[in-house]
Chains A and B, each alone.
Chain A
Amino acid sequence: MATSRPAPQEILLPVKPGYIALTLAAALLLNLLPWSGYGLWIKPDFVALVVLYWCIEQPRKMGFIGAWLVGLFMDVADGTLFGQHALAYTILAYAGIVLHRRVRMFAITPQALHVIPLFLMNDLIIVSVRMLGGADFPGWHYFIGSFVAGALWPPLAALLKIPLRPKPDPFHV
Chain B
Amino acid sequence: MEYQAPPFFKTGPTPLARLLILSALSLALLISDARFNYLAPLRQVAAVILYPLQRIALAPASIARRVGDFFVTHSSLRTQNDRLERENFENAGMLQELKGLRAENERLRALLGARKRFGVDATAAEVVYAARDPFSRRIVIDKGMRDEVKAGQPVVDENGLLGQVTRVYPWLAEVTLVTDKSHFVPVQNLRNGLRAVLSGTGSDGVLELRFVPVNADHANGDELVTSGIDGVYPPGLPVARISQVERSATRLFARITCTPLAGVSNHTQVLLLSAQRDLPPRPAEQAKPRVKGKARKR
0/1 string, A24-38, CB within 8 A of B gives 1: 010011111111100
Q: Among A29, A43, A136, A139, which residue has its beta carbon within 8 angstroms of that of B181? A: A136
- Are B26's CB and A138's CB within 8 A? no
A33 to B62 alpha-carbon distance, docked (Å) = 11
Name the distance in Å between A128's Cβ and chain B's nearest Cβ. 12
Chain B at the A interface: SS class = helix
Supposing A87-B30, A98-B15, A129-B30 touch, asked if A78 and B46 sit within 8 A by C-beta, the answer is no
- List residues of chain B with CB within 8 A of the CB of A90: 19, 22-23, 26
Interface size on B, residues (CB 8 A): 45
Chain A at the B interface: SS class = helix
- Are B134's CB and A35's CB within 8 A? no
- Verify if A142 is at the interface (C-beta below 8 Å from B): yes
- Verify if A64 is at the interface (C-beta below 8 Å from B): yes
Name the distance in Å between B28's Cβ and chain A's nearest Cβ. 8
Name the distance in Å between A59's Cβ and chain B's nearest Cβ. 9
- List residues of chain B with CB within 8 A of the CB of A86: 22, 25-26, 29
- Are B61's CB and A34's CB within 8 A? yes
Supposing A76-B47, A79-B131 touch, asked if A29 and B57 sit within 8 A by C-beta, the answer is yes
Name the distance in Å between B131's Cβ and chain A's nearest Cβ. 6
Name the distance in Å between A86's Cβ and chain B's nearest Cβ. 4
Name the distance in Å between B144's Cβ and chain A's nearest Cβ. 13
Chosen A-B contacts, 7 in total, with CB atoms closer than 8 Å, are A36-B130, A72-B46, A76-B43, A76-B47, A81-B33, A130-B135, A139-B134
Query: Which residues of chain B have a CB within 8 Å of any CB of chain A?
Result: 15-16, 18-19, 22-23, 25-30, 32-34, 39, 42-43, 46-47, 49-50, 53-54, 56-58, 60-61, 129-136, 138, 140, 167, 174, 181-182, 202, 265
10 pairs of A and B residues whose beta carbons are closest in the complex: A83-B29, A87-B26, A32-B57, A82-B33, A83-B30, A76-B46, A34-B129, A94-B19, A83-B26, A138-B134
A32-B50, A81-B33, A94-B16 given; 10 more Cβ-contact pairs under 8 Å: A34-B58, A40-B134, A71-B26, A72-B46, A73-B46, A76-B46, A78-B131, A80-B136, A83-B29, A87-B23
